[in-house]
Structure 1
Amino acid sequence: MDKTSKDSLPDMPVESERDQISQNIEAILKFYTREDQKISHSQRVLERISLFIGQPVFVGAILLFVALWTISNIVLHQLGLTAFDPPPFFWLQGIVGLGALLIMTVVLTKQNRLAKLEEQRAHLDLKVTLLTEQKAAKLIDLLEELRRDLPNVKNRHDPEAVALQQSMSPDLVLAALDEGGNSEERLKQSTETQEDMSSSQQTP
């Protein structure tokens, strides 16, 4: 093997790691691209409006409108002219109430879409977490098996390692979250049962 091939070998894991990172980033970008393409034209218009509503200039515009409306009616009344909305400004109250209703609808529309997207991400996080937990349990199982097979390592019973070898059941976790203490007891009993079964299998 020449020097050039030897020098290129250490770079292979680095390049592989970079490829994996690039694939993960590309998958995330594709996910957001698909979700963005699902947005309808009316939804985009409402979200642009919500962006403007969330800016401080919108608050200033509302205050300016209310001040001009109120001052105009007071000045017209002082000049002896007919005010288009005399105090207590019923038309102004109606316009403000309608505006508040429309603003609330626009904001809720955007929040509903974001909540749906967040729910999808939460499901993905849960799947990744369960997969990671299963992989960790498998690694512990392999390490325990290697420890038992090594002749120079004394074999001993490790209850913590036995417990960690067992992958947690998602159904039991959800039941514990939903039902509280009773489910926690059943979860503990199920874990102890799995430990006893593993111990009996390891005992020659």
Structure 2
Amino acid sequence: MIIIRFWLEQLFNCAFKEAEFENIIFNPEMINLLFDNDKTIPKQFHVGKSTIQTKDEKFQDFLNFGLTRFAVYELFSFFDKSDIPEQYTDILFNIIIKDGNKLPHVCFGIFKSSKLYDRIIEYITTSKDLTKMVPFITLFCDSFDVPKPPEKSENAKIDGDSTKYKIVNLYNPKVKFLLLISGTRDFFFVYIEKKIED
């Protein structure tokens, strides 16, 4: 146990360009036991890009592991290979609107429903406080119609299977969101970027 603790501590003190976990993670309870809940040692992996892939029965455990055990400096990606169920939409939405101070870019997939996209569009249009929102968001989607630009969007440009447009927040017109949707009903992605104008 001492050897495992030593090597985990070494890993916590390193920085990694990328870390990818597919259907397997370190046991969080084992990490707590190894470190006797020692609060002096930050038990996080420092990574530029983190990717976690799972199936829906492990969704919550894997997502919690990624959010608590990684200090992410570029991109946090989380994919449920089968489909992210709608019941987890609230969890992902809350990450998007509250974790901008620790996650610079999130990438979530794969969605077979537009529920998360719809909530994000409503939020960026009508929220009075966007300060905690993740500034870059990517969603991978399939099996539902590619969303059309909302009525209040500006500068919509359609080029083949790609659509670009801008949404301005109702309460703070200096906060704008650039959106790019590319692909077809079979598979497409949505990219959202928050911009604050001076």
Q: Same fold (TM over 0.5)?
A: no
Higher CA-based Rg? 1
TM-score if structure 2 supplies the norm length? 0.17
TM-score if structure 1 supplies the norm length? 0.17
Which protein is richer in strand relative to its size? 2
